[in-house]
């Protein structure tokens, strides 16, 4: 056990307890200074106004470090673990969520930052289980048709060696998980509550079976309740973890459509199964399919045709040994090319050189730091030489925390 990594783990758990997942302000601060320093600053001075606002009332009631230590002990007792970006098994694709945070009134849009850490229950390595994975989501009130379709596509994907990721809800989610289990394949439930809770309670057996071969995953510590708003926050993880999202059935305002939108924002495949035009549970699907960028799929062959293209790119984007910069967005690439090797540039100066809006540079540069492409130097940023294949294979969050590979 590396003491720095364990300090980071404790700090990330404490920060997760203090702030609801998705906070962009917190994530960027952690990316820049490392979790331990951010927690120290928060506890020591209380002067970190931006974060104080996010932290709210919890800071004043309990010692967050003690609470985090207790949480980690409880996690171990459950047979679960906390996976953090400093770990090798962290799925780097989740950090792409930083690219979709936006200013805006809707807190869901504003707070779509990557998770600080994940509670995981199950035998597999998180990154490996998710490497070839597809999200299959949809209506809780699935029809018999939707249940059949979800189970079949879950089976087909798992049978072909792909992991089926879903939210463990009634209806489409549960049938997708069950289909994957029936094929003897891997499936991942991304929960909106602690990994020790069965929600819905009638899925206790299902979750138990999933945790035997697959994984139960959550951003919330054990005991956390499935509050309504947490489902929408959770959805971004389902979208980001996978190569693409398949919606099986969805009413006009289904939450599954939000997962699909997130997938689109992240450049993942958006796929939708059609249904009878007479079914209210396919209305949302058909509206989505009127978007030419959303692909109609009727089963695993169609799905793999879509994600097969992307999955070659997906892993290398962040962790791949070949050309790590291939996965950068245009603005990210321009900013990176604008940086110098020795002379630090402020984000304003880099923005001017790159021809990128200053606000965007302020958002992007810290994320380039966390991914190891740039580093802080004095009051500015410098470029990091193209990392070697070995370095590029490291967990992307490792660089700023100074953890060895």
Q: Which residues between 292 and 321 bind a copy of itself (CB under 8 A)?
A: 292-293, 295-296, 298-299, 302
The answer to whether 144 contacts a copy of itself (rule: CB under 8 A) is: no
The answer to whether 376 contacts a copy of itself (rule: CB under 8 A) is: no
The least distance separating a copy of itself from the CB of residue 285, rounded to whole angstroms, comes to 8
The least distance separating a copy of itself from the CB of residue 133, rounded to whole angstroms, comes to 21
The answer to whether 278 contacts a copy of itself (rule: CB under 8 A) is: yes
Contacts of 74 (CB under 8 A, 6+ apart): 221, 222, 223
Query: Which of residues 276, 301, 355, 357 is near a copy of itself by CB under 8 A?
Result: 276
The least distance separating a copy of itself from the CB of residue 289, rounded to whole angstroms, comes to 4
The answer to whether 375 contacts a copy of itself (rule: CB under 8 A) is: no
Q: Cis ω on the peptide bond leading into residue 106 (within 30° of 0)?
A: no
Q: Counting Cβ atoms within 10 Å, is residue 25 exposed (0-12), middle (13-18) or buried (19+)?
A: middle
Q: Please, which residue, 151 or 262, has the CB nearer to a copy of itself?
A: 151
The answer to whether 277 contacts a copy of itself (rule: CB under 8 A) is: yes
Q: Please, which residue, 67 or 141, has the CB nearer to a copy of itself?
A: 141
* C-alpha torsion 391→392→394→400, nearest 10: 80
Cα(247)–Cα(284) distance, integer angstroms: 9
Q: Please, which residue, 37 or 148, has the CB nearer to a copy of itself?
A: 148
The answer to whether 275 contacts a copy of itself (rule: CB under 8 A) is: yes
Query: Which of residues 274, 308, 316, 344 is near a copy of itself by CB under 8 A?
Result: 274
Check: CB of residue 257 under 8 Å from CB of residue 148: no
Q: Please, which residue, 286 or 376, has the CB nearer to a copy of itself?
A: 286
Cα(246)–Cα(261) distance, integer angstroms: 11
Contacts of 105 (CB under 8 A, 6+ apart): none
The answer to whether 102 contacts a copy of itself (rule: CB under 8 A) is: no
Contacts of 385 (CB under 8 A, 6+ apart): 341
**Options 66-74, 75-83, 277-285, 356-364: segment touching a copy of itself (CB under 8 A):** 277-285
The least distance separating a copy of itself from the CB of residue 274, rounded to whole angstroms, comes to 3
Handedness of CA 351, 353, 354, 356 (dihedral sign): positive
Cα(73)–Cα(53) distance, integer angstroms: 29
Check: CB of residue 94 under 8 Å from CB of residue 127: no
Residues that bind a copy of itself (CB under 8 A): 145, 148-149, 273-278, 282-283, 286, 289-290, 292-293, 295-296, 298-299, 302
């Amino acid at each position: 056990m590396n003491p720095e990594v364990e300090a980071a783990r404790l700090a990330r758990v404490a920060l997760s307890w203090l702030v609801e997942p998705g906070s962009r302000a917190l994530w960027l601060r952690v990316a820049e200074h490392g979790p331990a320093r951010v927690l120290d600053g928060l506890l020591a001075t209380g002067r970190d106004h931006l974060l104080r606002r996010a932290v709210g009332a919890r800071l004043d009631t309990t010692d967050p470090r003690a609470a985090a230590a207790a949480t980690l002990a409880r996690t171990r007792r459950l047979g679960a673990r906390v996976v953090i970006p400093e770990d090798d098994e962290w799925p780097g694709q989740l950090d792409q969520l930083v690219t979709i945070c936006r200013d805006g009134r809707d807190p869901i849009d504003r707070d779509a930052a990557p998770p600080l850490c994940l509670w995981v229950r199950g035998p597999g390595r998180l990154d490996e289980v998710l490497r070839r994975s597809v999200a299959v989501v949809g209506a809780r009130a699935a029809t018999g048709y939707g249940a059949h379709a979800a189970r079949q596509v879950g089976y087909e994907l798992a049978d072909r060696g792909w992991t089926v990721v879903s939210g463990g809800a009634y209806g489409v989610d549960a049938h997708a998980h069950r289909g994957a289990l029936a094929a003897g394949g891997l499936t991942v439930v991304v929960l909106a509550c602690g990994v020790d809770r069965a929600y819905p309670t009638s899925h206790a057996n299902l979750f138990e079976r999933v945790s035997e071969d697959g994984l139960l995953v959550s951003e919330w510590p054990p005991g956390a309740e499935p509050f309504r708003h947490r489902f929408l926050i959770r959805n971004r993880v389902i979208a980001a973890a996978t190569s693409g999202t398949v919606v099986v059935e969805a009413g006009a305002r289904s939450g599954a459509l939000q997962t699909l939108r997130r997938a689109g924002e992240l450049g993942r495949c958006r796929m939708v199964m059609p249904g009878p035009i007479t079914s209210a549970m396919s209305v949302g699907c058909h509206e989505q399919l009127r978007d030419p960028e959303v692909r109609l799929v009727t089963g695993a062959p169609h799905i793999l045709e879509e994600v097969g293209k992307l999955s070659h790119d997906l892993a290398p984007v962040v962790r791949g040994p070949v050309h790590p910069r291939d996965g950068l967005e245009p603005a990210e690439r321009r900013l990176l090319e604008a940086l110098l090797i020795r002379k630090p540039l402020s984000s304003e100066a880099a923005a001017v050189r790159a021809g990128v809006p200053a606000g965007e540079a302020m958002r992007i540069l810290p994320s380039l730091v966390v991914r190891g492409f740039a580093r802080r130097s004095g009051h500015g940023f410098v470029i990091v030489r193209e990392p070697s294949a070995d370095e590029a294979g490291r967990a992307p969050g490792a660089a700023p925390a100074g953890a060895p590979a």
